[in-house]
Amino acid sequence: MRNAVTRTLILAGFLAILTPTLRSQDGERLKTLAANDTYPTFSLTLTSKSPDYRVGSMMWITIVQTNLTNHEIDCTEEWDGIDRTYQYEATDEDGKPAERRHRGNAGWDVHGCTIAARGNESRMLQIERVFKFDRPGKYVIRVSHHEPFLTDEKGEPLVVWSNPITITITG
């Protein structure tokens, strides 16, 4: 029993000595990462396989998320078991939102991932699975994603938007 108490006291003493050093090293590492970061930590680029589609056809878009930092980042965002990686927006020629096929986001491209420093992650999505493009016209599509490390002046997560693309749908 006495040996166990002695070992516990010795271990507690080592931890008391090492803890400030470990905290200091971790704090310095985090300060270095923050000092070398670029904010926002990523950018989004949106492209379409074609600028022209017919009503009812498959409409492929590609989303490229590029890590702008010098360290790995997580490229998914999930809470409540729902993928919230990207928010999709589509408006018609008059600026009216396109009708959604379902509530929420397109859950069929859900997968966890990380992006290496200065690397990128590319995903393709059939945008007609998110929106009802059942009328001819021009539509502007954008994609957004929350910046996990920054908030706006109201304390809300900062949103990073992709470039807008325009697709034309014919009858």
Measured CA to CA in angstroms, residue 7 lies from 2, 15, 57, 159 at distances of 9, 12, 72, 52
Residues in the chain: 171
Classify domain 38-170 at the CATH class level. mainly beta
What was the pLDDT predicted at 112?
67
What was the pLDDT predicted at 3?
58
Q: In the chain, which residues have pLDDT < 70? A: 1-38, 76-84, 102-112
Per DSSP, the residues of 69-133 read: SSS-EE---EETTEE-S-EEEEEETTSPBPPBSSSS--GGG----EE-TT-EEEEEEEGGGTB--
pTM for the full model?
0.70
Whether residue 40 has a cis bond before it, omega within 30° of 0: yes
